[in-house]
Structure 1
Amino acid sequence: MGHNIDELVTLFEASPVAVLTGAGISTDSGIPDYRGEGSPPRTPMSISQFTDDPQYRRRFWAGARVGSSRFSAIQPNAGHIALAHLEAAGRINGVITQNVDGLHRRAGSRTVVELHGSGSTIRCVNCDFRTTRNEVLGWFDALNPGYAERHAGAEIAPDGDAAVAETDAVEVPTCPMCGGMLRPDVVYFGETVPPKVFAAAEVLLNEAGALILAGTSLAVNTGVRLVHRAERRGIPVAVINRGPTAVDARADVRLEGGTTEILTELAARLR
């Protein structure tokens, strides 16, 4: 690993580096990866499922509530913290992430572009009222007294929600302003990244001397678009990941391994 870490360190000589992170950076915090080695293949939720199927919404909110107690215990890991330190030291100009878990901000990163939104924010599809996930889960408890306690043993899925079986009688919380449908403020399959969010990611990339991809297989098109942008600018692209990625053949530097260990060593070398 040392030899490749040297190559990675040289990318920081000219100017700050932009970093794009995916699910692999959060696995060491206890959030399973959709596509990593050893994880069962799962299809992430599509927005049409959520909006069109009341049963799906019941399952979603029930799973979100039952999973929340364990999810709230999840903490940023050393990889998240290493990136926060690199930003504080002026070595990276921020983090662009495909994750919706909020762990980069909690680790102390200041400039974070959340391409796929934030799972902790809930909004109304009608009037755009916004509130926190925790507040809506409180409303769930008021509508479904005792439900969370009865299903406390359910297995946790990659998105942090529990796989609960009995949801037919679940009452789904609605918008307190207009009675409309509430949904997480995240980009689901079938939706696109908001243009101003992608523009914020491009700003970081345009000011960077290199792009590092950490813990992403680049199965999502937005990440690939950013790699194309980096290539057009002629800046080097580095990949840190366990398992293959969509851009391995084109990467200037490729490190096979866990983001926690590699980013921690990188931060130590650049201190």
Structure 2
Amino acid sequence: MVDKKMKECTSIITNSKNIVVLTGAGISTESGIPDFRSRSGIYQNTPEEILSIDYFFQHPQNFYQFAFENLYYPDAAPNIGHEILAKWEHEGKVKHIITQNIDGLHQKAGSKNVIEFHGTMKTASCLNCSKLYTADEMVNRKNSMKDFYVCDHCETKYPEDHYIKPDVVLFGDAGLWFTYEGFNTISSIIQQADCVMVLGSSLKVTPFSTFPRDRGPEAPVIIVNKGKTSYDFEPNTYVIQESIGKTLQMMDEQLLYSRLK
């Protein structure tokens, strides 16, 4: 049975042609990737210091060991939630996905217009010459070289100036989208949305948490997250505290049913 709130959300999606989706760790936990901030998340057992740019420079080998054990899941597969978002993009409903996740599962599912706000673990780059290394290359280097994190494509006076850093945004770091132009681009995308969906994010981490406020005054917000968010009681906001995959599957089935009527 489909409850009233689910019907309302499905109606919104049916009538939307420019949905912008904001995703967090909660959409990837259903693919077996641990989240960060829940009671069992990485941050509960690991000091945030390890995920800082300072720690990377001071202990690059330890940093990579931690990153490969806790942040890199090359065998993870997209779940039904990722797949439905890719389907909705193909159908012209979802225009952009802006994600906090670094796992690349949206792209694996077939989504094209994805902004990886916190970067990706799929690649790493030399801080001097910008030579790109795949994560698999870095694993192989780690297993076969002592100073695997030092780029051998260029030279600098100090080795740390040509360290190879994963293309993720660390604490104290700045990423591709953490610029004036980047924020303006994201703000413009959200302003044009006729619906904003928040999937699997507690919206606690700034500046990502501020993005829903960039929407137009008429654009509804649909939040699917098992925990509470600070937006839950705002006007024109619909909250479903259930599994993302299960919820999106029900919505997609209702969309198909409405087309067949």
Q: TM-score, normalised by structure 1?
A: 0.80
- Write out per-residue CA displacement over residues 29-54 of structure 1, whole angstroms, 9 at most, x where no aligned residue: 11111113543624441222212x12
1:59 aligns with 2:43: no
Question: In structure 2, what is the equivalent of residue 222 of structure 1?
Answer: 207
Which residue of 205, 216, 228 maps to 1:244?
228
Unaligned runs of 5+ residues in structure 1 are 145-170
| Partner AA of 2:54 in structure 1 | S
In structure 1, give the amino acid aligned to 2:19.
V
Partner residue in 1 for 2:159: none
In the alignment, what sits opposite 2:240?
255
Identity %: 30
Q: Does 1:182 align with 2:164?
A: yes
Q: Which amino acid aligns with 2:8?
A: E
Give the C-alpha shift of residue 241 in structure 1: 0.1
Contact 2:16 2:93 in 1 (8 A): no
Which residue of 187, 199, 207 maps to 2:192? Answer: 207
The amino acid that maps onto 2:231 is: V
- Deviations for 1:89-131, whole angstroms, at most 9, x for unmatched residues? 1121121111111000000001111111111110112222222
Deviations 1:143-178 (A, max 9, x none): 16xxxxxxxxxxxxxxxxxxxxxxxxxx44211222
Does residue 108 of the first structure (1) align with residue 119 of the second (2)? no
1:269 aligns with 2:254: yes
What is the SS of the residue equivalent to 1:177? Answer: coil
Structure-2 change in CA distance of 1:29 and 1:197 (3 Å): farther
8 Å Cα contact 2:129/2:154 also seen in 1: yes
The superposition leaves residues 36-77 of structure 1 with CA deviations (integer Å, 9 ceiling, x where unpaired) of 3543624441222212x12xx211223445679x82221111
> 2:52, 2:69 → 1: CA distance?
21
Q: Distance in 2 between matches of 1:37 and 1:130?
A: 35
Gaps of 5+ in 2: 156-161, 257-261
Matching residue of 1:123: 125
Q: Point out the more displaced range, 59-68 or 129-138.
A: 59-68
Query: C-alpha distance in 1, partners of 2:47/2:8?
Result: 36
Aligned pairs for 1:84-103 (under 5 A) are: 84-103=86-105
1:264 to 1:14, Cα distance in 2 relative to 1, 3 A:
closer
Residues 200 and 109 (structure 1), Cα distance of their counterparts in 2 relative to 1, 3 Å cut: farther
1:8 maps to what in 2? Answer: 9
Aligned to 1:191: 173
**Alignment RMSD (CA, Å):** 2.2
Q: Which has the higher contact order (CA 8 A, sep 6+)?
A: 1
Counterparts of 2:100 and 2:110, CA distance in 1:
17
The aligned amino acid for 1:123 is S
After TM superposition, the structure 1 stretch with the greater mean CA deviation from structure 2, 206-215 or 232-241, is 232-241
- TM-superposed CA distance for 1:235, in Å, is 1.6
Secondary structure of 1:71's aligned partner: coil
State yes or no: 1:47 paired with 2:25: no
Q: Measured at CA, do residues 109 and 258 of structure 1 come closer, stay the same or move farther in structure 2, by a change above 3 Å?
A: same
Contact 1:20 1:96 in 2 (8 A): yes
How big is the shift at 1:228?
Answer: 1.4
Q: Distance in 2 between matches of 1:219 and 1:65?
A: 25
Paired with 1:47 and 1:268, the residues of 2 have a C-alpha distance of 45
Normalised by the size of structure 2, how large is the TM-score? 0.83
Q: 3-state SS of the aligned residue for 2:21?
A: strand
